[in-house]
Structure 1
Amino acid sequence: MPATFNLSPLIRITLLSLYLSLTLPIPFLAAVTQAPVPPNLLWAGLGLGGLFLYGALSEKVYLDETGITVTYPTWFRWLTRKGWSLPWEKIDQLKMRTTGQGGLVYYFVTPERDRAYLLPMRVAGFGKMVGLIESQTNLDTRDVRPLSQPWMYMILLGFTLLLLLVDGWAIATALTWA
Protein backbone atom coordinates (compact mmCIF):
# COMPACT_ATOMS: atom_id res chain seq x y z
CA MET A 1 0.00 0.00 0.00
CA PRO A 2 -0.37 2.79 -1.32
CA ALA A 3 -2.03 1.59 -4.52
CA THR A 4 -3.64 3.31 -7.49
CA PHE A 5 -6.35 1.75 -9.65
CA ASN A 6 -7.46 3.21 -12.97
CA LEU A 7 -10.59 2.49 -14.92
CA SER A 8 -10.14 -0.70 -16.94
CA PRO A 9 -8.62 0.09 -20.37
CA LEU A 10 -11.10 -2.31 -21.99
CA ILE A 11 -14.02 -0.34 -20.56
CA ARG A 12 -12.49 3.04 -21.45
CA ILE A 13 -11.67 2.03 -25.04
CA THR A 14 -15.08 0.41 -25.54
CA LEU A 15 -17.08 3.39 -24.27
CA LEU A 16 -14.99 6.00 -26.11
CA SER A 17 -15.27 3.94 -29.32
CA LEU A 18 -19.01 3.58 -28.85
CA TYR A 19 -19.35 7.36 -28.44
CA LEU A 20 -17.29 7.90 -31.58
CA SER A 21 -19.28 5.35 -33.58
CA LEU A 22 -22.62 6.84 -32.53
CA THR A 23 -21.69 10.46 -33.19
CA LEU A 24 -19.07 10.60 -35.96
CA PRO A 25 -21.47 10.45 -38.94
CA ILE A 26 -23.78 13.20 -37.61
CA PRO A 27 -21.90 16.28 -38.93
CA PHE A 28 -21.36 14.62 -42.32
CA LEU A 29 -25.04 13.72 -42.61
CA ALA A 30 -26.05 17.21 -41.43
CA ALA A 31 -24.04 18.74 -44.28
CA VAL A 32 -25.60 16.45 -46.89
CA THR A 33 -29.16 16.92 -45.66
CA GLN A 34 -28.69 20.66 -45.12
CA ALA A 35 -29.86 20.34 -41.53
CA PRO A 36 -30.66 23.59 -39.69
CA VAL A 37 -27.74 23.01 -37.31
CA PRO A 38 -24.40 23.82 -38.98
CA PRO A 39 -21.86 20.97 -39.11
CA ASN A 40 -19.22 23.12 -37.39
CA LEU A 41 -21.50 23.55 -34.39
CA LEU A 42 -22.09 19.81 -34.33
CA TRP A 43 -18.32 19.16 -34.45
CA ALA A 44 -17.83 21.51 -31.50
CA GLY A 45 -20.63 19.84 -29.52
CA LEU A 46 -19.37 16.34 -30.27
CA GLY A 47 -15.83 17.33 -29.31
CA LEU A 48 -17.07 18.81 -26.04
CA GLY A 49 -19.13 15.69 -25.34
CA GLY A 50 -16.13 13.48 -26.06
CA LEU A 51 -14.00 15.57 -23.71
CA PHE A 52 -16.55 15.18 -20.90
CA LEU A 53 -16.81 11.45 -21.52
CA TYR A 54 -13.01 11.16 -21.41
CA GLY A 55 -13.00 13.04 -18.09
CA ALA A 56 -15.64 10.76 -16.62
CA LEU A 57 -13.67 7.72 -17.78
CA SER A 58 -10.48 9.02 -16.12
CA GLU A 59 -11.56 8.00 -12.63
CA LYS A 60 -8.73 6.94 -10.31
CA VAL A 61 -8.99 5.09 -7.02
CA TYR A 62 -6.22 5.63 -4.46
CA LEU A 63 -5.79 3.37 -1.45
CA ASP A 64 -3.31 4.17 1.28
CA GLU A 65 -2.88 3.64 5.00
CA THR A 66 -5.46 6.32 5.81
CA GLY A 67 -8.33 5.43 3.48
CA ILE A 68 -9.80 5.27 -0.01
CA THR A 69 -10.04 8.22 -2.40
CA VAL A 70 -11.90 8.34 -5.71
CA THR A 71 -10.79 11.23 -7.88
CA TYR A 72 -10.89 12.66 -11.39
CA PRO A 73 -8.54 14.95 -13.34
CA THR A 74 -8.34 18.50 -11.97
CA TRP A 75 -10.05 20.09 -14.97
CA PHE A 76 -12.93 17.63 -14.67
CA ARG A 77 -13.33 18.07 -10.90
CA TRP A 78 -13.55 21.80 -11.44
CA LEU A 79 -16.40 21.36 -13.95
CA THR A 80 -18.42 18.42 -12.65
CA ARG A 81 -17.53 15.44 -10.49
CA LYS A 82 -15.53 16.12 -7.36
CA GLY A 83 -14.84 12.55 -6.24
CA TRP A 84 -14.74 11.53 -2.59
CA SER A 85 -12.49 10.33 0.19
CA LEU A 86 -13.27 8.06 3.12
CA PRO A 87 -10.97 7.09 6.02
CA TRP A 88 -10.81 3.37 6.79
CA GLU A 89 -12.06 3.83 10.36
CA LYS A 90 -15.26 5.48 9.07
CA ILE A 91 -16.26 2.45 7.01
CA ASP A 92 -18.82 0.51 9.04
CA GLN A 93 -20.11 -1.95 6.46
CA LEU A 94 -20.44 -2.79 2.79
CA LYS A 95 -24.07 -2.85 1.64
CA MET A 96 -25.21 -4.62 -1.51
CA ARG A 97 -27.92 -3.10 -3.71
CA THR A 98 -29.43 -4.30 -6.97
CA THR A 99 -29.44 -2.02 -9.99
CA GLY A 100 -32.40 -1.43 -12.26
CA GLN A 101 -30.89 -3.90 -14.72
CA GLY A 102 -30.48 -6.63 -12.11
CA GLY A 103 -26.76 -6.16 -11.40
CA LEU A 104 -25.26 -5.80 -7.95
CA VAL A 105 -23.42 -2.75 -6.65
CA TYR A 106 -21.87 -2.17 -3.24
CA TYR A 107 -21.80 0.90 -1.04
CA PHE A 108 -19.53 1.77 1.86
CA VAL A 109 -21.69 2.84 4.79
CA THR A 110 -20.42 5.03 7.62
CA PRO A 111 -21.51 4.60 11.27
CA GLU A 112 -23.56 7.80 11.04
CA ARG A 113 -25.37 6.28 8.03
CA ASP A 114 -25.75 9.77 6.64
CA ARG A 115 -24.07 8.97 3.36
CA ALA A 116 -23.14 5.94 1.26
CA TYR A 117 -20.11 5.76 -1.04
CA LEU A 118 -20.24 3.63 -4.18
CA LEU A 119 -17.48 1.02 -4.39
CA PRO A 120 -15.71 1.60 -7.74
CA MET A 121 -16.38 -1.58 -9.69
CA ARG A 122 -14.91 -0.95 -13.14
CA VAL A 123 -11.26 -0.58 -12.22
CA ALA A 124 -8.41 -2.69 -13.56
CA GLY A 125 -7.22 -4.94 -10.75
CA PHE A 126 -10.61 -5.03 -9.03
CA GLY A 127 -9.83 -8.24 -7.10
CA LYS A 128 -6.60 -6.80 -5.73
CA MET A 129 -8.37 -3.58 -4.75
CA VAL A 130 -11.11 -5.47 -2.91
CA GLY A 131 -8.47 -7.56 -1.12
CA LEU A 132 -6.70 -4.41 0.06
CA ILE A 133 -10.01 -2.94 1.24
CA GLU A 134 -10.76 -6.13 3.17
CA SER A 135 -7.34 -6.07 4.82
CA GLN A 136 -7.87 -2.47 5.97
CA THR A 137 -11.50 -2.74 7.10
CA ASN A 138 -11.97 -6.41 8.04
CA LEU A 139 -15.17 -6.44 5.97
CA ASP A 140 -16.15 -9.74 4.37
CA THR A 141 -15.68 -9.24 0.63
CA ARG A 142 -15.88 -12.89 -0.51
CA ASP A 143 -19.03 -12.31 -2.55
CA VAL A 144 -18.04 -8.94 -4.06
CA ARG A 145 -17.71 -9.24 -7.84
CA PRO A 146 -17.23 -6.62 -10.57
CA LEU A 147 -20.43 -5.10 -11.94
CA SER A 148 -19.81 -6.44 -15.43
CA GLN A 149 -17.50 -9.09 -16.73
CA PRO A 150 -14.83 -8.40 -19.37
CA TRP A 151 -16.57 -10.59 -21.95
CA MET A 152 -19.55 -8.19 -21.91
CA TYR A 153 -17.31 -5.29 -22.90
CA MET A 154 -15.52 -7.42 -25.48
CA ILE A 155 -18.85 -8.19 -27.15
CA LEU A 156 -19.83 -4.51 -27.02
CA LEU A 157 -16.46 -3.54 -28.48
CA GLY A 158 -16.93 -6.05 -31.31
CA PHE A 159 -20.33 -4.60 -32.21
CA THR A 160 -18.92 -1.09 -31.89
CA LEU A 161 -16.18 -1.92 -34.40
CA LEU A 162 -18.85 -3.23 -36.79
CA LEU A 163 -20.77 0.01 -36.32
CA LEU A 164 -17.60 1.97 -37.12
CA LEU A 165 -17.40 0.06 -40.43
CA VAL A 166 -20.97 1.08 -41.22
CA ASP A 167 -20.06 4.65 -40.19
CA GLY A 168 -17.20 4.59 -42.69
CA TRP A 169 -19.64 3.58 -45.42
CA ALA A 170 -22.16 6.27 -44.36
CA ILE A 171 -19.48 8.97 -44.28
CA ALA A 172 -18.06 7.90 -47.66
CA THR A 173 -21.57 7.98 -49.14
CA ALA A 174 -22.25 11.42 -47.60
CA LEU A 175 -19.00 12.78 -49.00
CA THR A 176 -19.88 11.60 -52.53
CA TRP A 177 -23.26 13.39 -52.28
CA ALA A 178 -21.74 16.62 -50.97
Structure 2
Amino acid sequence: MFRISPLIRITLLSLYVALTVPLPFLSEATEAPVPPALLWVGLSLGAVALYAALSERVVLDARGIQVTYPQWVPSLFRKGWFLPWEEVKALKPRTTGQGGVVYYFSSQSGEGYLLPMRVAGFAKLVRLVSAKTGIDTRDVRPLAQPWMYLILLGFTGLLLLVDAWTIATAVGVG
Protein backbone atom coordinates (compact mmCIF):
# COMPACT_ATOMS: atom_id res chain seq x y z
CA MET A 1 0.00 0.00 0.00
CA PHE A 2 1.26 3.45 -0.94
CA ARG A 3 -0.08 6.66 0.60
CA ILE A 4 0.31 10.29 -0.38
CA SER A 5 3.77 11.51 0.62
CA PRO A 6 3.79 13.12 4.09
CA LEU A 7 5.79 16.05 2.67
CA ILE A 8 3.08 16.71 0.08
CA ARG A 9 0.31 16.27 2.64
CA ILE A 10 1.87 18.65 5.19
CA THR A 11 2.73 21.22 2.53
CA LEU A 12 -0.75 21.34 0.99
CA LEU A 13 -2.58 21.35 4.32
CA SER A 14 -0.29 24.12 5.62
CA LEU A 15 -0.80 26.15 2.47
CA TYR A 16 -4.58 25.80 2.87
CA VAL A 17 -4.34 27.07 6.46
CA ALA A 18 -2.05 29.94 5.44
CA LEU A 19 -4.36 31.06 2.64
CA THR A 20 -7.65 30.80 4.52
CA VAL A 21 -7.32 31.29 8.29
CA PRO A 22 -6.90 35.10 8.15
CA LEU A 23 -10.22 35.49 6.29
CA PRO A 24 -12.61 35.28 9.27
CA PHE A 25 -10.44 37.71 11.25
CA LEU A 26 -10.34 40.15 8.35
CA SER A 27 -14.08 39.74 7.84
CA GLU A 28 -14.68 40.81 11.43
CA ALA A 29 -12.12 43.65 11.36
CA THR A 30 -13.56 45.12 8.14
CA GLU A 31 -17.19 44.42 9.07
CA ALA A 32 -17.62 42.51 5.82
CA PRO A 33 -21.13 41.31 4.90
CA VAL A 34 -20.06 37.67 5.32
CA PRO A 35 -20.07 36.77 9.03
CA PRO A 36 -16.87 35.22 10.42
CA ALA A 37 -18.82 32.22 11.76
CA LEU A 38 -19.97 31.35 8.24
CA LEU A 39 -16.39 31.61 7.02
CA TRP A 40 -15.21 29.28 9.80
CA VAL A 41 -17.81 26.71 8.78
CA GLY A 42 -16.80 26.95 5.13
CA LEU A 43 -13.08 26.77 5.93
CA SER A 44 -13.65 23.73 8.15
CA LEU A 45 -15.58 21.94 5.40
CA GLY A 46 -12.84 22.83 2.93
CA ALA A 47 -10.16 21.46 5.27
CA VAL A 48 -12.05 18.17 5.62
CA ALA A 49 -12.45 17.96 1.83
CA LEU A 50 -8.72 18.62 1.29
CA TYR A 51 -7.76 16.06 3.92
CA ALA A 52 -10.08 13.54 2.24
CA ALA A 53 -8.45 14.16 -1.15
CA LEU A 54 -5.02 13.70 0.44
CA SER A 55 -6.04 10.38 2.02
CA GLU A 56 -5.75 8.52 -1.29
CA ARG A 57 -4.17 5.07 -1.10
CA VAL A 58 -2.70 3.00 -3.90
CA VAL A 59 -2.86 -0.76 -3.41
CA LEU A 60 -0.90 -3.18 -5.57
CA ASP A 61 -1.50 -6.89 -5.20
CA ALA A 62 -1.40 -10.04 -7.31
CA ARG A 63 -4.72 -9.08 -8.99
CA GLY A 64 -3.98 -5.49 -10.04
CA ILE A 65 -3.60 -1.86 -9.04
CA GLN A 66 -6.27 0.01 -7.13
CA VAL A 67 -6.78 3.58 -5.94
CA THR A 68 -8.94 3.74 -2.82
CA TYR A 69 -9.99 6.14 -0.08
CA PRO A 70 -10.90 5.48 3.56
CA GLN A 71 -14.49 4.52 4.39
CA TRP A 72 -15.27 7.97 5.81
CA VAL A 73 -14.70 9.61 2.41
CA PRO A 74 -18.02 9.60 0.52
CA SER A 75 -17.83 7.81 -2.83
CA LEU A 76 -19.56 10.79 -4.43
CA PHE A 77 -16.60 12.96 -3.41
CA ARG A 78 -13.73 10.80 -4.69
CA LYS A 79 -14.11 7.67 -6.73
CA GLY A 80 -11.35 5.10 -6.71
CA TRP A 81 -10.60 2.61 -9.44
CA PHE A 82 -9.24 -0.89 -9.96
CA LEU A 83 -7.32 -2.16 -12.97
CA PRO A 84 -6.41 -5.86 -13.23
CA TRP A 85 -2.83 -6.48 -14.41
CA GLU A 86 -4.01 -8.47 -17.42
CA GLU A 87 -6.05 -5.43 -18.57
CA VAL A 88 -3.01 -3.10 -18.61
CA LYS A 89 -2.06 -2.48 -22.22
CA ALA A 90 0.49 0.34 -21.86
CA LEU A 91 1.66 3.24 -19.75
CA LYS A 92 1.34 6.37 -21.87
CA PRO A 93 2.86 9.80 -21.14
CA ARG A 94 0.73 12.93 -21.50
CA THR A 95 1.97 16.49 -21.33
CA THR A 96 0.21 18.76 -18.83
CA GLY A 97 -0.80 22.35 -19.54
CA GLN A 98 2.21 23.50 -17.48
CA GLY A 99 4.68 21.41 -19.47
CA GLY A 100 5.01 18.50 -17.04
CA VAL A 101 4.40 14.86 -17.89
CA VAL A 102 1.85 12.54 -16.30
CA TYR A 103 1.30 8.88 -17.13
CA TYR A 104 -1.90 7.00 -17.84
CA PHE A 105 -2.46 3.28 -17.81
CA SER A 106 -4.13 2.34 -21.06
CA SER A 107 -6.44 -0.63 -20.63
CA GLN A 108 -7.43 -3.27 -23.16
CA SER A 109 -10.88 -1.61 -23.33
CA GLY A 110 -9.30 1.75 -24.21
CA GLU A 111 -9.91 3.46 -20.86
CA GLY A 112 -7.20 5.55 -19.21
CA TYR A 113 -6.25 5.48 -15.52
CA LEU A 114 -3.93 8.12 -14.09
CA LEU A 115 -0.78 6.70 -12.51
CA PRO A 116 -0.70 8.13 -8.96
CA MET A 117 2.48 10.20 -8.75
CA ARG A 118 2.33 11.86 -5.33
CA VAL A 119 2.77 8.71 -3.26
CA ALA A 120 5.62 8.03 -0.87
CA GLY A 121 7.80 5.36 -2.46
CA PHE A 122 6.97 6.30 -6.05
CA ALA A 123 10.12 4.62 -7.43
CA LYS A 124 9.15 1.34 -5.72
CA LEU A 125 5.59 1.67 -7.06
CA VAL A 126 6.92 2.07 -10.59
CA ARG A 127 9.26 -0.92 -10.20
CA LEU A 128 6.35 -3.08 -9.01
CA VAL A 129 4.19 -1.93 -11.94
CA SER A 130 7.01 -2.84 -14.32
CA ALA A 131 7.43 -6.26 -12.70
CA LYS A 132 3.68 -7.00 -12.88
CA THR A 133 3.10 -5.72 -16.43
CA GLY A 134 6.42 -6.05 -18.20
CA ILE A 135 6.19 -2.37 -19.25
CA ASP A 136 9.50 -0.49 -19.42
CA THR A 137 9.24 2.22 -16.77
CA ARG A 138 12.87 3.46 -16.75
CA ASP A 139 11.85 6.91 -17.97
CA VAL A 140 8.88 7.36 -15.60
CA ARG A 141 9.57 10.17 -13.14
CA PRO A 142 7.28 11.89 -10.62
CA LEU A 143 5.60 15.09 -11.80
CA ALA A 144 7.03 17.18 -8.94
CA GLN A 145 10.29 16.53 -7.13
CA PRO A 146 10.49 16.64 -3.31
CA TRP A 147 12.63 19.79 -3.39
CA MET A 148 9.75 21.63 -5.08
CA TYR A 149 7.47 20.81 -2.15
CA LEU A 150 10.21 21.79 0.32
CA ILE A 151 10.46 25.21 -1.34
CA LEU A 152 6.66 25.58 -1.27
CA LEU A 153 6.64 24.54 2.40
CA GLY A 154 9.31 27.17 3.16
CA PHE A 155 7.29 29.92 1.47
CA THR A 156 4.17 28.66 3.24
CA GLY A 157 6.02 29.10 6.55
CA LEU A 158 6.79 32.70 5.59
CA LEU A 159 3.16 33.24 4.66
CA LEU A 160 2.09 31.88 8.05
CA LEU A 161 4.32 34.50 9.71
CA VAL A 162 2.62 37.21 7.68
CA ASP A 163 -0.73 35.67 8.63
CA ALA A 164 0.17 35.89 12.33
CA TRP A 165 0.96 39.58 11.90
CA THR A 166 -2.25 40.12 9.90
CA ILE A 167 -4.40 38.38 12.51
CA ALA A 168 -2.72 40.26 15.34
CA THR A 169 -3.39 43.54 13.52
CA ALA A 170 -6.99 42.58 12.75
CA VAL A 171 -7.81 41.75 16.35
CA GLY A 172 -6.10 44.92 17.56
CA VAL A 173 -3.05 43.42 19.27
CA GLY A 174 -0.53 44.86 16.81
TM-score (norm: length of structure 1): 0.95
The residue identity in structure 1 corresponding to 2:155 is F
CA contact (8 A) 1:77 1:83 kept: no
Residue of 165, 169, 172 corresponding to 1:173 = 169
CA contact (8 A) 1:68 1:85 kept: yes
Residue of 5, 8, 21 corresponding to 2:5 = 8
Deviation at 1:72, TM superposition (A): 1.2
Q: Establish whether residue 147 from structure 1 lines up as the match of residue 143 from structure 2.
A: yes
Q: Percent identity?
A: 66
Counterpart position of 2:77: 80
Deviation at 1:162, TM superposition (A): 0.1
Q: Establish whether residue 50 from structure 1 lines up as the match of residue 47 from structure 2.
A: yes
The residue identity in structure 1 corresponding to 2:172 is T
Deviation at 1:148, TM superposition (A): 0.4
Counterpart position of 1:93: 90
What are the ranges of 5 or more consecutive residues in structure 2 without an aligned counterpart?
none
Paired with 1:71 and 1:78, the residues of 2 have a C-alpha distance of 10
What are the ranges of 5 or more consecutive residues in structure 1 without an aligned counterpart?
none
Residue of 68, 71, 86 corresponding to 2:65 = 68
Deviation at 1:74, TM superposition (A): 1.8
Deviation at 1:79, TM superposition (A): 3.7
Report the 3-state secondary structure (helix = DSSP H, G, I; strand = E; otherwise coil) of the residue aligned with 1:28. Answer: helix
Deviations 1:39-63 (A, max 9, x none): 0000000000000000001110000
Paired with 2:172 and 2:19, the residues of 1 have a C-alpha distance of 21
Residue of 17, 34, 43 corresponding to 2:14 = 17
Deviation at 1:82, TM superposition (A): 1.4
Deviations 1:54-95 (A, max 9, x none): 000111000000000101122223341111000000000000
Counterpart position of 2:126: 130
Paired with 2:71 and 2:135, the residues of 1 have a C-alpha distance of 31
Counterpart position of 2:34: 37
Counterpart position of 2:117: 121
| Larger fraction in helix | 1
Deviation at 1:112, TM superposition (A): 2.0
Number of aligned pairs? 173
Paired with 1:176 and 1:102, the residues of 2 have a C-alpha distance of 45
The residue identity in structure 2 corresponding to 1:151 is W
Paired with 1:152 and 1:83, the residues of 2 have a C-alpha distance of 27
Paired with 1:79 and 1:146, the residues of 2 have a C-alpha distance of 28
Paired with 2:103 and 2:147, the residues of 1 have a C-alpha distance of 21
